[in-house]
Amino acid sequence: MSVTQLRFGMVGGGNGGNIGNSHRRGAAMDSLAVLSAGCFTRNFEQNKKDGAAWGVAPDRIYRDYKEMAEAESQREDGIDFVSIVTPNFTHYEIAKTFLEHGIHVSCEKPFTMTVAEAEELRDLAAAKGLEICLTYTYAHYPVLQQARRMVADGRLGRLISVVAEYPQDWLMLEGATDPSNYASWFMDPKKAGMSNATAAIGVHVWYLIKSMTGQPVDRVLADFAYYPEDAALEAASHTLFRLADGTRGLLWDSITAAGHDCDIGIKIYGEKGSLEWTHCDPIHLRVAMKDGPVEIYSAERAYLDPHARAASRLPAGHPEGFYEAFANIYRAFCTHLLDKKNGVDGGGYFHPTAQDGVDGMRFVAASVKSYQEGNVWVRLDEV
């Protein structure tokens, strides 16, 4: 009889943490995976409290992730995969540990601190026959499945320009840059690595471009801006890029764009028509075919591609938000793992992989190098 549900564990995400909730709620939404083990926070009392609320058995709450990897890999009913939702600079060690214990990994972005670490994890997983899922969220809103398929089906013809952005303003908010602020580590090269805005949000734009156009970004040419003026890492990037087929593009991201919440968006222009999507209105897609009126596609509507339609959980007009976009990644990842477990070849399901983790790091590294060398083209495969 085939397996229909997985078990998963979580490292990080305790004590009211925001991103942990997104993973936990997203993974639970379709009942394809049950939270069964965890090391949610370093405070063991809080850890137990969180685990109890989330239905984790007391003996599967762990004091550290190494103990967890060890113990779970020994159990008959051990976890199938782990969700890693700790700060960036810890991803590499944690992911490596679980992979070494034969456990699949779902990991927050950016994947690692360096391209080399990302490649090492990718190769380790491959060598062990394990899967890695990255949680680049935004491409997984339902109407973007329509966008992706329209491009893939040639509905836009040859692409001409791609324009994408991600403005937000968290760095400008009262208290954001105080050392006491939780998020202030983003500004510290020791913890954040080589980049602030590009690694934190630019990489989301990169993935949106890549997954909507179906093409890798071949090269970037980046210019950075700083806030405060003497910050060690950039607060905004302004970047030209080219896709593999030569299509021209331009992206910018900023964490100092006052009045913008989380306003990632993309516009794709081809010889036959154009597509536009913004996170400010996540359930609609703007479609314009040459010589016709602009059309507004709404999630779940019958005129959508059946695959795109199936990405919705609710009838048209009932907004599905950030948690549901997360859930879409987990649904694809879990279905893929279940197929594997059941020896079925389901053909794979759309979700970000280890290679996307590697390429995301290459995008960050290439952007940084381009800026440091005076705004020159840097190919992603040369960093």
- Which residues, at least 6 apart from 291, have a Cβ–Cβ distance to it below 8 Å? none
Nearer to a copy of itself, 31 or 43 (CB): 31
The reply to whether 244 sits near a copy of itself by the rule CB under 8 A is no
Q: Which of 47, 106, 254, 328 binds a copy of itself (CB under 8 A)?
A: 254
Q: Which stretch binds a copy of itself (CB under 8 A): 93-101, 248-256, 334-342, 350-358?
A: 248-256
Q: Which of residues 117-156 bind a copy of itself (CB under 8 A)?
A: none
- Per-residue binding string, a copy of itself, 66-95, x by CB under 8 A, is ------------------------------
The answer to whether the CB of 222 falls within 8 A of the CB of 193 is no
The reply to whether 367 sits near a copy of itself by the rule CB under 8 A is no
E strands present in the chain: 6-11, 33-39, 81-84, 104-107, 132-134, 159-167, 217-225, 236-243, 248-254, 265-270, 273-278, 284-289, 294-298, 378-379
Shortest distance, position 91 Cβ to a copy of itself, whole Å: 21
The reply to whether 163 sits near a copy of itself by the rule CB under 8 A is yes
- Which residues, at least 6 apart from 330, have a Cβ–Cβ distance to it below 8 Å? 23, 26, 27, 29, 30, 32, 33, 106, 133
Q: Which of 8, 136, 227, 330 binds a copy of itself (CB under 8 A)?
A: 227
- Per-residue binding string, a copy of itself, 167-186, x by CB under 8 A, is xxxx-xxx------------
Tokens of 332: 């694809």
Round to whole Å and give the CA distance between 229 and 318. Answer: 43
The reply to whether 31 sits near a copy of itself by the rule CB under 8 A is yes
Q: Which of 15, 46, 177, 375 binds a copy of itself (CB under 8 A)?
A: 375
The reply to whether 323 sits near a copy of itself by the rule CB under 8 A is yes
The DSSP call for residue 76 is T
Shortest distance, position 249 Cβ to a copy of itself, whole Å: 7
The reply to whether 298 sits near a copy of itself by the rule CB under 8 A is yes
Q: Which of 116, 258, 310, 344 binds a copy of itself (CB under 8 A)?
A: 258
The reply to whether 224 sits near a copy of itself by the rule CB under 8 A is yes
The DSSP call for residue 201 is I
The DSSP call for residue 75 is S
Round to whole Å and give the CA distance between 90 and 66. Answer: 13
Tokens of 247: 């299509």
Q: Which of 187, 287, 364, 368 binds a copy of itself (CB under 8 A)?
A: 287
Under DSSP, is residue 7 helix (H, G, I), strand (E, B) or coil? Answer: strand
- Which residues, at least 6 apart from 318, have a Cβ–Cβ distance to it below 8 Å? none
Shortest distance, position 95 Cβ to a copy of itself, whole Å: 25
